[in-house]
Each structure stands twice: as C-alpha cells, then as structure tokens.
Structure 1
C-alpha cells in the first residue's frame, strides 16, 4: 500500500481490531509484532489503542534467544507476524499482569538485558504533536518511511505523527539506496527520516549527485550525533537536516530543530520540543551554567511512565518527573542544545543501540579469557562498531569468541575486531578506563 493516510488505513485497523478481539485480547494484554515495515503494524497499533491493549514491536534483526527473552519478559498474549523478515519467530508467553501503556519499546540496558519502556497513549499523542509542530506537518505532506518501525524513531518521529496530522505515508519494507532514490523520484515525498549510516550510504552512492530530490523540503536525522560533513552534503542539495534528539524512553522526540534552526545552527540538536522540557544538570544535581557540559534530562508528557516490571530501574531513571538520559550535552547562550558525549557506554551503530554489557555477558562464557571489555570504535560507514579488547590465556584461539556470538546475538552486535592486550587499563579502584580503551582501539 503506497501513499496511504489514516482513512485509507481504517479498514485494516477495523479488521485487526476484530482479529485481536477474536483472539481474546483485552485491555492491558501485550501483543507482539514482528516483520518488515508494513501497514499491518500500524493497523495493529491503532487497533491496540481502541482495545486498550499494548503493542510490543520486535526487532527482526535480533537472534532467536534475544527475541524469546523479550517475548517472555513482556508476557505476550499474542504474536502477530508481518512480511517475511528471516527472523526466528518467538512464541507468545501470556502473563496475567495487565499494563496501562499503549506501546512497550524494548531498549538494551547497561545490565545486559533490554528493558521495556512503557509509553502511554498520552505520551504517543504528545510526541505526535511535537512532531507536527517541528516538521510543520499538514495534510498536504507525504512522508517516506525507510527506517524500521520496530524502533520508536521509525515509528514515532514522522510516521504516526503524519497519519494523525492527516498526511500520507509510504513505507519501504527496509532501506536500500536504489529503492530510496527510486521512491523519492517517483512518489515525490516531502519528508523522510534518516540516520547517519543511511545518510552516508546515500551520499556515497553513484546516484547522489544526479537524483531528483527536489520534493524533499527537509529530512529528520537522529539516533546518534550526525557528523557535520553529512549535514553539509544534504544542505548543498537544498535539503535542511533537522536533527532530533531522544530515545525510546521519550517516545522519542525530546530536543529537536525546526527547519529554520537546521539552517541557522547546523550541528546543534536544537531546543526542547514544544510539549516537553530539557535541562543540563551537573553531578551535584544543580543546573549547569550556559556552555558547561552536564547530563541531559527531559520532562514532559512524552516521557515513559516507567520500565515494564522494573521498579528499581524506573526509580533510577526518573526523579521528580525528570528522565535522566545518561547523555552529556551543553546549552549555549542562545538556548540551543549541543550533544557532546555519552555518559553511558552505548555504541550506536547504523542507528542500532549496542550496549557493551550485553556483549560482555557473552564474553564471560568464553573459556580462556581472563579479562575482557567491549568498546565502540569510530567507523566511516556505521558511525561506530563494537570492538572486543581481551586478555587471554596462552594458546587462546580467537575463533572461540566468534563461535560464541553466533546465534546468541544479532549480527550487527558482533565485535568487528578483537584486540589482545597484556592487561585492561584500570583505575586505582579497579574500574576499566573507558577513554584509554578508546585510545587503544582508535587506530584498529
């Protein structure tokens, strides 16, 4: 289905609602969805809203064990499958505990297991209003969605907001440069959302210089810091790059640029979205002066209500309504926010979050390793890739690491390189020195 709007989607929503009710789905039940981008997933989301059920999008790129863990943790009452993705489909694991959210987005955690961020109906609608204002969405717009809907970025930055604004949406099953250029030239969309890895693939493609992109009045960009040369490449084609900062826990739009701001301050992540607040906080909890780095915190109707079945993690992440992002940024005198670093060790590779603790949990099972750590290394194509830094016993075969990762974690999470060192750099208290690890891997 190409160029559909919400009225065109309504028959699918009604059919999906009837199917869910026929399967016994009630308010508070979790319904999983796995598959390539498809209108059926959007219909499932709106059907869940009508019933009061909860949609749990599943990343088809994950390994079978990861998918099964999420299915069990969420307590899926039903699993819906979209177009063939090649994923091993997990089984539904019904749980009697109800949930008041509309969407649970699973995001990898520093403990090595993902957490389900509970997003209410109000949060999704607040996020949609943020998007409507930031992108000046009208019924005349046409959004081309190429990023996966199993992430809140692909789902909620433009796609759902466009439908709620009366605009049209076209879904590509998944991204490829040729398909993107063909769709833009043939369908003439006005907006799309990209991540740095996708932007890089487009700019390096032979069709970049000649492709007719004139229908695009702007693109959204996010998931990680967008390198200035990429922004400049799109600006040179007359396409403003509106940066969007946020995460699953914020639905995700938290800080973003308008079209004018994108042109005025390339590289900035913008200002707080219309229906939320943002601030920079020092380690002692006080507000940071202008120009001083600190942790970015977000508060607003778009913020999650908490993590599913994780009260301790919820209490750690939320305080007085403020969500601690774990990211470092600063605010300049003009009120613009700038991303500077990650307080947490998350690696963002091609728009996918990779948490070192998750990979280190696999390394812990490999015989012959005495010390190990995962660190992100800059990569011209993916932004960052994971690298394993190891201390091993004599005669250790690195193939044991590769074998252990097979079928355990998604391919994009596998270490791209293995660096053997005599010892990991540590502080006097025994903590691994992340910056020294980065220096070790930077040239590899």
Structure 2
C-alpha cells in the first residue's frame, strides 16, 4: 500500500494526469518529474524521516513533492500561503523542516519565514537527475505532516503515513465512483487535506485527469467547467455561496458535473438545494485532518435521498456516536463522533499528551457532535468545543445559525457564547448586515422557531466574519468580537 504513481505511469504513460492554465502533464511526464524531484532532494541530503515544506498556490510541484517524499520515506509539510511570517516560521521550526520549496511568487515570503537551519529551494527548478533516486519509502512511513488550523492556541501537526493516504483514496474512489475516465477540477487549496486528498490524490491514484488552477475565482470556475468539462469537483460552503451569489450562476454551463463533493463545515441546506436545482447532487464528506480526511461520506444516490446528512461510514472506516463516558448512544441521540480505520493519523508531532487525548483505544475522538438515524446515516450537529452551556442547557450554535440564515437583512452570520453572570453563557449572533438590516427584527425572527433559551441575546455587526483559508469561521476570533461588543 505504498503511495506511488509508478504503476499508473507504466500502464497508461500517455494518459493525461495534470493540466494547469500553462502546461499539461501525462502520467509518464509526471512520474519523470517525481523521480527528478526525489533525486534533487536526495542530493540535498534529504532522506527517510526528514521533513520538506512547501509554500505556494496550487501548483503541480506540490503533488510532485508529495510523491517524491513518499519515494524517499520523507514527509511533506504543506504550508498555508495566507499565513503571516511568524505563523509560517512556527510551523517550520516546530516541524524541523530541513528544506523549504517555494514557488517563484512565494520566494520572498518563504525567505522571510526561513529558520537558520532550513534551506530554501525553488519548487519549479528541477535539474536532470544524475542518478536514479533511492526508493526507501514504504507503506508504514509517514509522508504528510499537516498542521491543523490552530483556532485555539498553536496549531498541531497531524502525522499521516502512506498507508493512510492510500486507504483514504480507496474511500474516495468508492464514495465518488471515481475512475480513470473522470476529470476532476481542484479549486480548493492543496495545503489542506481537503483539497489535497478528498479528490485530487485519489484521482491520480485512479488514473484520472486533474485540472489545477492556482486558486479559486468564480469567473474562472465557470469558464473551466464550460471549457474542460470536469465530471467532479470539491467545494466548501463559502465557495458554494460565492458561486450561487454570482451573476453568472444562472447561465453557467455546469452540465458536465455529475456531482460535487462538499465539506469542511456544516453545509447550509439552501446551498445544497441551489445545486440540486441545477441537477448537481451535493455529496457531503465528513472527516478531519487526522482522518486523511474521508471518514463518513454520501454516495450520489444518498445525496439526493437525504440532503443535509453527512452519509455513512466510508468503506475502510468505522464510525460511532458516544457519550462522555465513551458508551455508544441510542439511535437519534446526540453524542461525540468517533472514528477508526487505517486512514487515521498516527498522532500529533511531538505532542504526546494531545495524541493520548484524541486517539483512544484505536478510535479518534473528533470533538464533533452528531447523531445516527434509523437508517444508519450520520448527521452533524456541532463542534463540542463550540457548544454553549446556558443555565445547564446545551445550545448548539449550528442549530441557531440555521435559523439565523433566514433572518431579514442578514448576509451571513455565526453564533457563539458570551459569558453571563446569571446563566454562565448566552448565545450572541455575529452578522454581516445587508439591506434593510434591523437588529430587533433579527432577534424577533427566532420567535416560534427555537426554544427561548436558544435565542441570541444580542446581535453584533461586523463587515466580514473571521474565517480560515477553507472558509471555516474562526471561533476564538468570533468570541473576541463578541466580548468587545
């Protein structure tokens, strides 16, 4: 179960593997670049267990580096190019990266963040190999060190081995019915396991073609779908919203898409319905950095049958819902989602206490609340750490946010807890106001829709919600806004 494209390059050398706005690579050409990258890194002294970081927008070099690291038994450390210099330096120092590969437009940012003991290389410069690179990597060798978003405290590095990525690919191929005949459009950033592993690496391992623009833009997305005719793509709610709200949405030619994958956070039902109205099923995918990430997912048929569900456990993953004591809860009741399978991370880099807390008896404790229905389908409820406990009652912000989305004059909104001397915490809505916004009307909107103790006690307006690069609301930043009034 080694992570490799060698057999694919032998079987279908002339098949198209990667296409960008400026170049096209067959599987033979992609494998040649992987071998050249591995040879260059080996000449730089990189070997088994060493960490090599990558900084850049979506680029073939990042995928080449991943497979080159797999060949050498080394680890790729993907870097979020939107991070500030101190944040990048922390990850480079914490990971102990020996080399940092950066694309040309990221060279200055990379140089500014570079620790003294890390050498900067240009990701696109690949000299011809002087000798075949060693093939020291195996299925059990770590290949990815991916740092979580760090919305609470410093980010942690999840260690994923080659076997985990291969089993994740098998999960994806089963979920999306992904074959060599597919053409996959990747618009989400490859520095996150979502963009990298939900469809992109599974597509390559299946012999499909990957379309790789450097970053997402609505106009570019519509043009790419119309011209290149992809069969699959992966989106997150903020990207879905940008497409649906765009003036070109109604006239866009999306007929080639048999489905889209969606995940990263709770996917609002109106967005799902907007794509379903265009004849495009929205297949939800649930997981985490620590699960590579595919753990629970919807088939195309299930997406149409149960919109809003996150689906069934993936082919090679077990899932359960447990109470605080670790006991499975009855059908329909909420509890923590826990996951088990060969796609799980080994733990966190140099963080034994965090590893012991999250990985227990072979199960990964997701920190997410969910429930399982009578058909075995899972439904996401909220993040455990975001649950508001008000007067002893649990309030799930996601439930309140679903009602908030329909409030008059609200472009978008989120809910978090604010300390309260009487109740411990109370919910507060943070909204981006639109035309005809009225705070009192927003508060009245909850009447008759939710129990009174779940109603927001106040509305805080902001020009934009604080979000991560993948569109998740940054909860700690949200709480700071609420505390500030």
TM-score by length of 2: 0.73
**Secondary structure of 2:82 counterpart:** coil
Question: What root-mean-square deviation, in Å, do the aligned CA atoms of Structure 1 and Structure 2 show?
Answer: 2.7
| Structure 1 position 425 matched with structure 2 position 425 | no
| Structure 1 position 19 matched with structure 2 position 40 | yes
Q: Larger radius of gyration, structure 1 or 2?
A: 2
| Structure 1 position 245 matched with structure 2 position 266 | no
- Equivalent position of 1:108 in the other structure: 149
Which of 248, 255, 265 aligns to 2:296? It is: 255
Deviations 1:37-58 (A, max 9, x none): 0000000000000000000000
- Equivalent position of 1:48 in the other structure: 69
Report if aligned partners of 2:182, 2:232 keep a CA contact under 8 Å in 1.
yes
Structure 2 CA distance for aligned equivalents of residues 129 and 427 of structure 1: 51
| Structure 1 position 60 matched with structure 2 position 81 | yes
Report if aligned partners of 2:416, 2:427 keep a CA contact under 8 Å in 1.
no
Which of 141, 153, 157 aligns to 2:194? It is: 153
Report if aligned partners of 2:142, 2:159 keep a CA contact under 8 Å in 1.
yes
Structure 1 CA distance for aligned equivalents of residues 104 and 221 of structure 2: 19
Deviations 1:254-301 (A, max 9, x none): 111011110110000001010010000011221010000000000000
TM-superposed CA distance for 1:84, in Å, is 1.9
Deviations 1:105-141 (A, max 9, x none): 1003465000000001010111011001101111110
| Cα pair distance change 1:427/1:316, threshold 3 Å | farther
**Secondary structure of 1:344 counterpart:** helix
Report if aligned partners of 1:76, 1:93 keep a CA contact under 8 Å in 2.
no
Which of 264, 280, 287 aligns to 1:223? It is: 264
| Cα pair distance change 1:58/1:388, threshold 3 Å | farther
**Secondary structure of 1:133 counterpart:** helix
Structure 2 CA distance for aligned equivalents of residues 382 and 307 of structure 1: 38
| Structure 1 position 78 matched with structure 2 position 70 | no
| Structure 1 position 123 matched with structure 2 position 144 | no
Between 1 and 2, higher relative CO (CA 8 Å, sep ≥ 6) is seen in 1
Q: Which sections of structure 2, spanning at least 5 residues, go unmatched?
A: 1-18, 119-139, 388-396, 431-455, 462-485
Which of 65, 90, 99 aligns to 1:69? It is: 90
TM-superposed CA distance for 1:7, in Å, is 3.3
Aligned residues: 377
**Secondary structure of 1:433 counterpart:** strand
Q: Which sections of structure 1, spanning at least 5 residues, go unmatched?
A: 347-374, 390-423
Report if aligned partners of 1:142, 1:167 keep a CA contact under 8 Å in 2.
yes
Map 1:140-179 to 2 at 5 A. 140-179=181-220
Report if aligned partners of 1:220, 1:242 keep a CA contact under 8 Å in 2.
yes
Deviations 1:148-182 (A, max 9, x none): 00000000000000000000001110100000001
Structure 1 CA distance for aligned equivalents of residues 84 and 361 of structure 2: 37
Report if aligned partners of 1:177, 1:201 keep a CA contact under 8 Å in 2.
yes
| Structure 1 position 204 matched with structure 2 position 245 | yes
Structure 1 CA distance for aligned equivalents of residues 344 and 256 of structure 2: 33
Structure 2 CA distance for aligned equivalents of residues 120 and 314 of structure 1: 15
Deviations 1:319-373 (A, max 9, x none): 0110000000000000000001110239xxxxxxxxxxxxxxxxxxxxxxxxxxx
